[in-house]
Structure 1
Amino acid sequence: MNAGLKTDSAVAENEYDTDYELGQDNVQIMGMDVHNPVFGVSAGLILLFIVGTLLFPAEAKVALTGARGWSIDNFDWLFMIGGNLFVLFCLALIVLPVGKVRLGGAKAKPEYSTMSWFSMLFAAGMGIGLMFWSVAEPVAYYTDWYGTPLNVAPRTAEGADLALGATMYHWGLHPWAIYGVVALSLAFFCYNKGLPMTIRSAFYPLLGEKCWGPIGHVIDILAVLATIFGLATSLGLGAQQASGGLNYLFGIENSLTTQIVVIVCVTAVALMSVARGMDGGVKLLSNINMVIAACLIALVIVVGPTLEVFRSVGGILGSYVENIIPLSNWVGREDGTWFHGWTVFYWAWWVSWSPFVGMFIARVSRGRTVREFLTAVLLVPTLVTALWMGAFGGTAIGQAQAGIGELANGIGDVSLAMFQMFENMPLSMVMSSIAVLLVLVFFITSADSGSLVIDSITSGGKTDAPMIQRLFWASLVGIIAAVLLVGGGSEALTALQAAAITTGLPFTLVLMLMCLSLYKGLKAEVY
C-alpha cells in the first residue's frame, strides 16, 4: 500500500493494497488543503441552492417539498425495509464472531473514557432532537395533531400508552442502527485497513480502486450536501425555537433580529470550540451537555410526578416492545397520514444525517471492539431515551390527560411545548432557563462536530487538515442559516430541510450496500 494513504493514527498491519495516495487529488486554496472535485462541486451546488432559494423561496419550497413528498410516498417500503435491515444487521454483528474485532487492531486502546465517548456520540446524535420533540411528539399523538399511530383512538388510555411507545420507536434502535452502520464502517476501514476517513472508503471491498473515481466523488458530495443542509436547517429552526423560548420566558421580542443574534452567538462559540480542538472543544462541550441534561431531568423527576415518571419508563419500554413489529410493518397500513408524516419522514431524516453523525462517532471510537461499539451505540442510548421520554413525555401526557395547561388543548407552537409543560410545575423558570441553555449548547456541539466531518470529507479523508478549513465550514453553516432566514424566512428553511431529507432516498441504498461491504471486510478480518 502506498504509505501516503495513512492518516495521523496508526493502522493495523493488514492494510488494503491500493494505489491511492491520500492527498493526491488535493489542491491548495487560500491556505486550505481541499479535495478536488469534491470541495469544488459541493461548494458550487451549495451556492447554487442558496441563490436559487433566496431568489425564489416560495417556488423552491414547493419544488423541494414536492420532491420530499414523492420520495416518502413512493419509497416508504424502501425506507422501512432499510430501517429494519439496519437494526437486524447491527444486532447480528454483536453476537457473531466478527464482534470480537477491535477497531484499530488488537492492541488499540480507546482514546476517550467511556463516559466522554458516550457523551460525544449522544450529543452529536440526537440530543437536540430530544429537547425539541420529547414533549411535543407524544402529546401530538395523544391529541391527534397529525394522525395517530396504528389508528388508535386519541385521548384514551390506550392512546396515551401508544403515543409514548411510538415516540420511543422513532428515537430508539432504528435511528441508532442507521448511525451505527455508517460509524462502524468508517471506523473499521479507516483504523483497521488504513483507508481515508471519508464515506467512499466503506465501499472499497465492493468497488476496489473505482471508489477513488467518479463513483466515490458522487458518494462524498452527497454526504457533504446532506450534512451541511441538515446542520443549517437545525441551526435555523433552533434559532427560532430559542428565540421563542426567550420570548416566552423573558419577554424578549421573538423577531428576526433575535434569531440572527442567536445564530451569531452559537456560531461564534462553535468557532472557539473548533479552535480548541477535539479535547478542548467537542469533548468538553459534550461533557457539559450531559451534566446540564442530567440536572434538568433530575429536576423534572423530583419536582414532577416522580412515581408516575418511573411507571412511564416501564410502560414506554413495554409499549415499545409490544408495538415494534406492527410499527415496523409497511404493508396495508391504515394510518397512512401518520405513517408517512412521522415514521417514514423520520427514517429519511435519520438516513440524511447518518454521514455526519456516523463519521463523527467513528472519529471518537478507535480502540473499541465491534461488540462493545454496537452495544453502546444501540442499547445504551435506547435506555437513556426511555428514561428521558418517561420524564418529559410521561409528564406532558399526564398534564394533557388531567386537562392542565395549554397542552390539554393539543400542540400549537411545537417549539414552546416543553416550556408550556414547565409552566405548570414548580421551579418552572429555573427549568425553562436550563432548557434554553441546553438547547444552545447542543447546537454549538453539533456545529463543531459537523465542521470536523465536512472538513474530513472535503479534504479527501484527512483528519489533520489546516484549522482554517474547520473554521470555514463552521462559519458557513451559520452563514447559510442566517442568510436563508433573512432572505426567505421559514419558507427557505423548509426548502432546505426538504432538500436534506430528499437525500435520504439515495443514501438508504448507499447504506444497504455499506452493510454488505462492512460484513465482507469484517469476515475477512476474522478468518
Structure 2
Amino acid sequence: MVVEDLARRLGLRTNPHIFFWSAGLMVAFLVLLLSFPGPIGTAFGAGREWIVTNLGWFFILGVTTWLVFLAWVALSKYGNLRLGHDADTPAYSNLSWFAMLFAGGIGTVLMFWGVAEPISHFSTPPYAGVEPYSVQASQDAMTISLYHLSLHTWAIFTLPGLAFGYFIYRYDLPMRVSSVFYPFLKERIHGPIGKTIDVFAVLGTLFGLAVSLGLGTSQINAGLTALTGIPDAVWPKVLIITALTLVATASIVAGLDKGVRRLSNLNILMAVGLMIFVLIAGDTVFLLRQIFESAGLYAQQIVPLSFWNDSMAQFTDEGGWGWQGGWTVFYWAWTVTWAPFMGVFLARISRGRTIRQFVGGVLIAPSLFTLVWFVIFGWSAMQIDGIGGTGGTISAAVADSVPLAMFAFFDNFPAATLISGIAVVVVALFFATSSDSASLVVDMLCSGTGEAGPTRQRVFWGLSEGALAASLIIIGGTAGLEALQQVITVIGLPIFLMVFAMMFAMIAGLRQEVFPSAPVPAAPAVNGDRPPGTPPSGTPPVPAAPADGAADRTSTTPRG
C-alpha cells in the first residue's frame, strides 16, 4: 500500500497508519492554530466552560475512584502478579527507577507550583469565611496543594501504567494504548478501531506535553527576566522552546538508557540540592516540624477533599463551578492528557515488578517527595510572606505573574541571583527530560515495540512537540496560563473517558487470572504486532491436536 511504501522510502520502522495519521492530524492542528488563533481560542474557551460546568464533578469522582481501585488491587491477591512473566526481574535499580518516573512525570509541575499554589490559596482562600494570610488559610493552602499534586495526581499516572504493563508484558501485546482494551476488542486492537485509539492517544500526549512545556517555558522566561532583563513576552518564550527542544532532541538521539536516565538522575540531584538549600537556609526546625504536621493535616482532609466539588458555589458570588473549575478540574484534565505517555513510560521502565511493588512505588514514593517539597517551599514562602499579616512580595508577585513566584521567593535567600540561575537550569532540565521521555514514548506508541525506533523518527516527534508548544504559546498570547487551561480541559475529557475504561479492562483481565500450583515456564516476550487471529503469547499453549485431527482449545488467559 501507499503508506507502507512511503514508510520504507523514508527509512521508518513503525506502523505507517498510526504514524502518518498522527503526524498528519498534528500538522493540521498546527496550521489551524496558527492560521485562526482567535476563533480557535474562542471555541476552546466555550468548550472548557461547558465541560467545567456540566462534568467537573465527573473528573473529581473519577480520579478518586481510580485511587481506591489501585489501593484495592495492590492489597488483593493480584498484588503478587508480575508485570511480565513470572521469571522477569526489574531492569533498573530502585533509585534510577524513581528518578526516571519522577523527572519524566512531575518535576516541571513541582518547580512551577511549589511556591505559586500554596501562596495562591494562602492569599485567596478557597473556603468561605477564611481570612487571607491567616493560620487557617496557610494550613488549608498546604493540604489543598498536596491533594492536587500527590496521591491523586499519581493515581492518574499509575492506573494506565499498570494497565499497560499488565497487558503488554503478560499478554505479549504491542506497546500501544489499544492493547489495554484487549479484553473488550480482542484481535480488533490490530484493526481500524485499535489504530484509531492509538492515533488519538498520540495526539492527546502531544497536547498534554505541550501545555507542560508551555508552563515550564513561562517560568524560565520569568527567571531570565529577573536575572537579565529579557522581556517576559511571547517571542522570548518561543526562542526558549526552540533552544530547549534542540537539547531534548539530542537526548532523544542518545536513547532511554544513555539520554533519559542520565538527564533524569542529574535533574533529580539538582532539584534535591535546591530543596536542601532552602531547608538549611530557611527556618529549618519549623520546616521539619511541618513535614509531620502537614502529613497529618493531609491525612485528615484527603477524604473530604476527594469528594468536594464546590456544589454550593452557585449560591455565592463565584457562581457556577467557582474555585474548583479553575484549579482541581483543570489539574485533572491536564494530568490525564499525560496518562498515555506516563503509562507507557512507567510500563517501559517497570517490567518485572509486581503489581504491589508498582502501585506502591509509583503512588507512594513520588507522593512523599511531593509532601517534603511542598512543605519546604510552600511553608517557607508563606512564612516569608507573613502568616497572620497582610501579605508580602511573594503574593504580590503571584498576583502579577504566577511564573514569577519561585524567583520572588528566592529573592529572600542568600546568593539569590545564583540560586535563581540554578532554578532556571533545573526547570530547563525538567523540560528536557519530559520532552525526550515523551518523544520516545510517542515513537513506541506508533511502532508498538519497547525498543527505540530510527533516529529520524524520534527526532521528528521531539521537534513536533516543541512546535506544538510554541504554537500554544503564540495563540495564548498575553492570556498565557488561561489559554493553556482552556485547551487542555477540552482535550482532557475524551482521554479521561479512555482512562476510566482502562480500569474496567484491568478488572476483566484480572478476573481471567489463573494461579497455578506449579510455576509456568516463562516465554520470551514479543511486543511487536501479531497477525490478526494469533493469540497473545502469554496465553497458555494450545494442546497438540489428537490423532484424529480434532484439536482442543483453551480459553484466552494471561500467563500465570
Partner amino acid, structure 2, of 1:381:
P
Tell me which residue corresponds to 2:247: 269
Residues 265 and 171 from structure 1, CA distance in 2 versus in 1: closer, same or farther, beyond 3 angstroms? same
1:416 matched to 2:404: yes
Cα offset, 1:241, TM superposition = 1.8
User: What secondary structure does 2:244 align onto?
Assistant: helix
Which whole-Å CA distance do the structure 1 matches of 2:232 and 2:500 have between them? 43
**Equivalent residues in 2 for 1:194-213, closer than 5 Å:** 194-213=172-191
Tell me which residue corresponds to 1:133: 113
1:118 matched to 2:113: no
Tell me which residue corresponds to 1:62: 42
Which whole-Å CA distance do the structure 2 matches of 1:405 and 1:329 have between them? 33
Q: Which stretch shifts more, 345-354 or 236-245?
A: 236-245
Tell me which residue corresponds to 1:288: 266
Which whole-Å CA distance do the structure 2 matches of 1:274 and 1:150 have between them? 48
Kindly indicate whether the alpha-carbon contact (under 8 Å) linking 1:101 and 1:522 is maintained by their aligned counterparts in 2.
no
User: What secondary structure does 2:79 align onto?
Assistant: helix
Cα offset, 1:487, TM superposition = 6.8
Which whole-Å CA distance do the structure 1 matches of 2:294 and 2:486 have between them? 30
Residues 226 and 152 from structure 1, CA distance in 2 versus in 1: closer, same or farther, beyond 3 angstroms? farther
User: What secondary structure does 2:207 align onto?
Assistant: helix
With structure 1 as the length reference, what TM-score do the two structures score? 0.90
Which whole-Å CA distance do the structure 2 matches of 1:396 and 1:344 have between them? 25
With structure 2 as the length reference, what TM-score do the two structures score? 0.85
Partner amino acid, structure 2, of 1:414:
V
Of the candidates 327, 332, 352, which is equivalent to residue 367 of structure 1?
A: 352
Residues 379 and 484 from structure 1, CA distance in 2 versus in 1: closer, same or farther, beyond 3 angstroms? closer
**Equivalent residues in 2 for 1:72-471, closer than 5 Å:** 72-144=52-124, 148-149=126-127, 152-330=130-308, 333-335=311-313, 336-402=321-387, 405-409=392-396, 411-461=399-449, 463-471=451-459
User: What secondary structure does 1:105 align onto?
Assistant: coil
Which whole-Å CA distance do the structure 2 matches of 1:134 and 1:330 have between them? 22
Which whole-Å CA distance do the structure 2 matches of 1:153 and 1:212 have between them? 57
Partner amino acid, structure 1, of 2:444:
S
Which whole-Å CA distance do the structure 1 matches of 2:286 and 2:312 have between them? 32
**Equivalent residues in 2 for 1:471-510, closer than 5 Å:** 471-485=459-473, 489-490=477-478, 498-510=486-498
User: What secondary structure does 2:14 align onto?
Assistant: strand
Cα offset, 1:273, TM superposition = 0.8
Which whole-Å CA distance do the structure 1 matches of 2:129 and 2:61 have between them? 22
Q: Deviations over 1:304-356 (max 9, x none)?
A: 11112112222321221121122122466335411121111111111111111
Partner amino acid, structure 1, of 2:250:
M
Residues 380 and 485 from structure 1, CA distance in 2 versus in 1: closer, same or farther, beyond 3 angstroms? closer
Kindly indicate whether the alpha-carbon contact (under 8 Å) linking 2:309 and 2:324 is maintained by their aligned counterparts in 1.
no
Residues 308 and 35 from structure 1, CA distance in 2 versus in 1: closer, same or farther, beyond 3 angstroms? same
**For this pair of structures, how many residues does the alignment match?**
503
Cα offset, 1:395, TM superposition = 0.5
Q: Which stretch shifts more, 455-464 or 50-59?
A: 455-464
Partner amino acid, structure 2, of 1:114:
N
Kindly indicate whether the alpha-carbon contact (under 8 Å) linking 2:263 and 2:433 is maintained by their aligned counterparts in 1.
yes
Which whole-Å CA distance do the structure 2 matches of 1:25 and 1:462 have between them? 23
Q: Deviations over 1:260-313 (max 9, x none)?
A: 332222112111111111111000011001110111000000001111211222
Cα offset, 1:445, TM superposition = 0.3
Cα offset, 1:110, TM superposition = 1.0
Which whole-Å CA distance do the structure 2 matches of 1:501 and 1:26 have between them? 35
1:46 matched to 2:26: yes
Q: Which stretch shifts more, 107-116 or 503-512?
A: 503-512
User: What secondary structure does 1:237 align onto?
Assistant: helix
Of the candidates 14, 17, 25, which is equivalent to residue 37 of structure 1?
A: 17
Partner amino acid, structure 1, of 2:94:
T
Which whole-Å CA distance do the structure 2 matches of 1:492 and 1:424 have between them? 27
Which whole-Å CA distance do the structure 1 matches of 2:36 and 2:481 have between them? 13
In structure 2, the gaps of 5 or more residues are 314-320, 516-560
Kindly indicate whether the alpha-carbon contact (under 8 Å) linking 1:104 and 1:191 is maintained by their aligned counterparts in 2.
yes
Which whole-Å CA distance do the structure 2 matches of 1:208 and 1:329 have between them? 35
Q: Which stretch shifts more, 85-94 or 492-501?
A: 492-501
Kindly indicate whether the alpha-carbon contact (under 8 Å) linking 1:352 and 1:504 is maintained by their aligned counterparts in 2.
yes
Which whole-Å CA distance do the structure 2 matches of 1:492 and 1:89 have between them? 36
Q: Deviations over 1:383-441 (max 9, x none)?
A: 11110001000111112225674125463211010111110122322321111110000
Partner amino acid, structure 1, of 2:142:
L
Residues 372 and 520 from structure 1, CA distance in 2 versus in 1: closer, same or farther, beyond 3 angstroms? same
Q: CA RMSD in A?
A: 2.3
Q: Which stretch shifts more, 424-433 or 219-228?
A: 424-433
Which whole-Å CA distance do the structure 1 matches of 2:274 and 2:482 have between them? 30
In structure 1, the gaps of 5 or more residues are 1-22
User: What secondary structure does 2:13 align onto?
Assistant: strand
Partner amino acid, structure 1, of 2:393:
E
Q: Deviations over 1:140-196 (max 9, x none)?
A: 11111xx61476443221111011000000011111111101011111111111000
Residues 496 and 309 from structure 1, CA distance in 2 versus in 1: closer, same or farther, beyond 3 angstroms? closer
Structure 1 runs (4+) deviating above 4 angstroms are 23-27, 402-405, 483-488, 490-497
Kindly indicate whether the alpha-carbon contact (under 8 Å) linking 2:120 and 2:395 is maintained by their aligned counterparts in 1.
no
Which whole-Å CA distance do the structure 1 matches of 2:352 and 2:485 have between them? 35
Which whole-Å CA distance do the structure 1 matches of 2:153 and 2:9 have between them? 37
Kindly indicate whether the alpha-carbon contact (under 8 Å) linking 2:310 and 2:322 is maintained by their aligned counterparts in 1.
no
Residues 180 and 35 from structure 1, CA distance in 2 versus in 1: closer, same or farther, beyond 3 angstroms? same
Q: Deviations over 1:430-455 (max 9, x none)?
A: 32111111000000001100101111
Percentage of pairs with the same residue = 40
Partner amino acid, structure 2, of 1:204:
Y
Q: Deviations over 1:344-369 (max 9, x none)?
A: 11111111111111111111111111
Q: Which stretch shifts more, 507-516 or 126-135?
A: 507-516
Kindly indicate whether the alpha-carbon contact (under 8 Å) linking 1:149 and 1:339 is maintained by their aligned counterparts in 2.
no
Kindly indicate whether the alpha-carbon contact (under 8 Å) linking 2:70 and 2:155 is maintained by their aligned counterparts in 1.
yes
User: What secondary structure does 1:109 align onto?
Assistant: coil
